[in-house]
Amino acid sequence: MRTINVEEITDNIKEMCIKANHYLSDDMKEILEKSEKEEQAPLGKQILCQLKENLQIAGEDMIPICQDTGMAVVFMEIGQEVRLEGGILEDAIHEGVRRGYQEGFLRKSVVKDPLYRENTKDNTPAVIHYEIVPGEKVKITVAPKGFGSENMSRIFMLKPSDGIEGVKTAVMTAVKDAGPNACPPMVIGVGIGGTFEKCALMAKKALLRPVDSRSDIPYVKKLEEELLEEINKTGIGPGGLGGHTTAFAVNIDTYPTHIAGLPVAINICCHVNRHVVREI
């Protein structure tokens, strides 16, 4: 049994909130570079070039990549051989977000009540997902989620008879409805199966996969490739101003489901797809 003080988790989450909002992950930088070289539309190429310049300025001057520094989504994978001490884990996570957004001078975008809209002034609470896993380590993923793209996400409760074609139609409907509002080029996470809430969580987690990876399941891999090709044929393009690069990746995760259902969730993320992963 390994003991970890929750203050260590707070310190890491604080740093991760700041890092995620100022620097892209390596896979996102690489796909942006590659797309800028391959984009044929002059205006689309210009937009991708401007996005690269924005990232360079953000890193050099410690300015957030985007003015919408997101609502903090935190994934905790906790080894079952870990004992946490020094306080309540959930309080420690929220404190890390609070310190990160206050000390990092990041925009505070969270309101206490969804209808009365009073700002919490420290970007808490975070949205937290827990998973107990084997081992004696804690893996933390911080993924600030901006709402330009989050607002464009969808859930479809399809009939089993809709099959793969129904899934394709659902994804393409979500992408076309999003258009320029999701700040393309997008990364598109898709969850298929489970229940109403399970498919949404899978879609969110699918965004965390490296954009150059593909599913290990042959038919899912094929579906990812087909959908990415179709999405990039829409002509929405970078910034919604036309071009081939409408999406960087389509990442699909699946899960067993009920005989009467085919839940499909599409969680869209903008071109920065911010996330930082650490293991304690």
- Cα–Cα nearest to 217, from 174, 171, 264, 164: 164
Give backbone dihedrals phi and psi of 128, rounded to 5 degrees, phi first. -120, 135
49 in a structural domain: no
26 in a structural domain: no
The answer to whether 12 and 97 are in contact (CB under 8 A) is no
* 269 and 194 in a common domain: yes
pLDDT band, residue 171 (cuts 50/70/90): very high
31 in a structural domain: no
Residue 66 has pLDDT above 90, yes or no: yes
219 in a structural domain: yes
pLDDT of residue 59: 86
* 118 and 9 in a common domain: yes
Residue 245 has pLDDT above 90, yes or no: yes
36: tokens are: 């800028």
Angstrom distance (rounded) from CA 124 to CA 191:
27
56 in a structural domain: no
* 93 and 204 in a common domain: no
- What does the pLDDT average to over 258-278? 97
* 83 and 130 in a common domain: yes
Give backbone dihedrals phi and psi of 225, rounded to 5 degrees, phi first. -70, -40
278 in a structural domain: no
43 in a structural domain: no
* 160 and 118 in a common domain: no
* 218 and 107 in a common domain: no
**What does the pLDDT look like over 17-64, one tens digit per residue?**
999 999 999 999 999 999 999 999 999 999 999 999 998 899 889 999
Give backbone dihedrals phi and psi of 66, rounded to 5 degrees, phi first. -135, 145
CB atoms within 10 A of CB 25: 19
98: tokens are: 């609070």
Structural domain ending residue among the three candidates 145, 177, 209: 145
- What does the pLDDT average to over 149-167? 98
pLDDT of residue 206: 98
DSSP at 112:
S
* 214 and 109 in a common domain: no
**What does the pLDDT look like over 74-94, one tens digit per residue?**
999 999 999 999 999 999 999
81: tokens are: 């051989």
Structural domain ending residue among the three candidates 103, 124, 145: 145
* 202 and 117 in a common domain: no
Q: Can you say whether the dihedral through the CA atoms of 46, 50, 51, 55 is positive or negative?
A: positive
The answer to whether 151 and 162 are in contact (CB under 8 A) is no
pLDDT of residue 95: 98
* 159 and 141 in a common domain: no
DSSP codes joined into one string, 242-255: SSS-SEEEEEEEEE
Domain extent at residue 78: 2-20+65-145
Residue 205 has pLDDT above 90, yes or no: yes
Residue 227 has pLDDT above 90, yes or no: yes
* 140 and 216 in a common domain: no
* 220 and 96 in a common domain: no
- What does the pLDDT average to over 103-108? 97
CATH number of 131's domain: 3.30.360
Overall number of domains in the chain: 2
106: tokens are: 């990041």
127: tokens are: 């949205």
Structural domain ending residue among the three candidates 129, 145, 161: 145
Beta bridge partners of 194: 257
* 254 and 204 in a common domain: yes
41 in a structural domain: no
